């Protein structure tokens, strides 16, 4: 792996990427490069979405931790609080090189917004393409007291409008986190002898003991480790439902509600909530059982929605079998349909300027 960083105030960019017109004075810029290996991919050779999410989070954690320690004071580590919707624009394959670049675009008193881009490079032909764009939010936690959130050094903006836009994004994600936490009482129960194409037929769970290699300096799980496990479970749900090769198309906002400590046993559970003609939405929960040091009741640590598409052996999208719902599941299906239509409308708005050029 190759890691390149630029000192505060330096705004050089690598030759494969043009500078974003953000107009923000970035405190630091980071590039992380790694070649994709067979153990990063599925049986069809497509890199797991969870692998890419983990690389994105690693870049975000490095740049935000560096920024939060850029001024003299109490040392801290930036902890992931939320990942905004992330689209997988193009699949990445074994043998390609992933270029992950990260920059800080907004800071509030206690949080940092980091934007991350992922480019894929074919080192045989030199061809490059953007595969992912993501926005992550971090909070700085004191190394001396993990429950203490420190203040974030502010960044400077070229225009006042940029700061105002960032503040608007901050308030929106704060409200969405609250709404998500309020609906976090759902529990996925096992279903015996389920019918094909029902929610119970494809729902899946994975149990994982949190070890030292999963954790930060604080002894809490890396956000990227959690996201990778969530993607694995969501992928199993999608594959069980359609029985084809599947790839991650997008991830709706991932909310990290509570920290997960070393020694916890976590249960990652996923269930199908919505199907369109070509995509599937899977809801994923992460519940933690603390057994070491301070036993307490199980709690909901993370939640998110993943979207997958079904692919043929040639790698072309194929129709998805429609989900058969019970009365209780129809509400979740309609909620999922609403998110699908909302996302579709946003994409159409984003594409209009491109078609008019």
Catalytic positions, written as ranges: 42, 231
| Pairwise CA distance, residues 135 & 57, whole Å | 10
Q: In whole angstroms, what is the distance from residue 41 CA to residue 48 CA?
A: 5
Number of neighbours of residue 315 by Cβ within 10 angstroms: 13
The Cα diameter of the chain in Å comes to 61
Q: Return the closest-CA partner of residue 308 out of 257, 214, 243.
A: 243
| Cα dist from 107 to 67, 84, 170, 174, 348, whole Å | 10, 16, 9, 14, 29
The Cα 74–Cα 144 span in angstroms is: 8
User: Is residue 150 a contact partner of residue 74, using CB atoms and an 8 Å limit?
Assistant: yes
Question: In the chain, what are the helix, strand and coil shares in percent, each to the nearest 5?
Answer: 30, 35, 35
DSSP letter for each residue of 42-70:
-TTSBBPHHHHHHHHHHHHHHHHHHHHTS
| Beta-carbon-side half-sphere exposure of residue 318 (alpha carbons within 13 Å) | 14
């Amino acid at each position: 792996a190759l890691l390149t960083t630029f000192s505060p105030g330096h705004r050089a960019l690598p030759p494969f990427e043009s500078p974003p017109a953000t107009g923000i004075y970035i405190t630091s810029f980071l590039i992380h490069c790694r070649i994709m290996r067979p153990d990063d991919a599925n049986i069809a050779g497509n890199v797991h979405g969870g692998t890419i999410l983990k690389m994105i989070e690693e870049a975000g954690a490095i740049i935000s931790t560096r920024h939060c320690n850029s001024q003299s004071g109490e040392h801290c580590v930036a902890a992931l609080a939320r990942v905004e919707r992330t689209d997988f624009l193009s699949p990445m394959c074994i043998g390609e090189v992933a270029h992950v670049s990260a920059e800080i675009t907004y800071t509030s008193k206690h949080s940092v917004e980091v934007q991350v881009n992922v480019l894929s490079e074919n080192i045989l032909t030199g061809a490059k393409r953007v595969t992912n764009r993501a926005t992550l939010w971090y909070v700085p936690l004191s190394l001396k007291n993990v429950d203490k959130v420190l203040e974030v050094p502010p960044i400077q903006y070229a225009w006042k409008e940029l700061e105002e836009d960032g503040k608007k994004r901050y308030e929106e994600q704060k409200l969405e986190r609250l709404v998500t936490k309020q609906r976090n009482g759902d529990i996925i129960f096992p279903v015996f002898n389920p019918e094909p194409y029902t929610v119970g037929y494809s729902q899946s769970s994975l149990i994982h003991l949190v070890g030292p290699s999963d954790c930060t300096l604080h002894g809490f799980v890396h956000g990227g480790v959690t996201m990778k496990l969530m993607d694995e479970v969501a992928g199993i749900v999608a594959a069980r439902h359609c029985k084809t090769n599947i790839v991650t198309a997008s991830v709706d906002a991932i909310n990290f509600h509570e920290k997960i400590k070393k020694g916890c046993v976590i249960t990652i559970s996923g269930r199908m909530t919505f199907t369109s003609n070509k995509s599937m939405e899977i809801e994923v929960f992460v519940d933690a059982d603390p057994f070491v040091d301070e036993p307490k009741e199980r709690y909901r640590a993370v939640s998110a929605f993943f979207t997958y598409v079904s692919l043929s052996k040639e790698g072309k999208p194929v129709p998805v079998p429609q989900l058969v719902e019970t009365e209780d599941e129809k509400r979740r299906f309609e909620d999922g349909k609403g998110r699908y239509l909302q996302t579709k409308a946003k994409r159409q708005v984003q594409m209009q300027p491109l078609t008019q050029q």
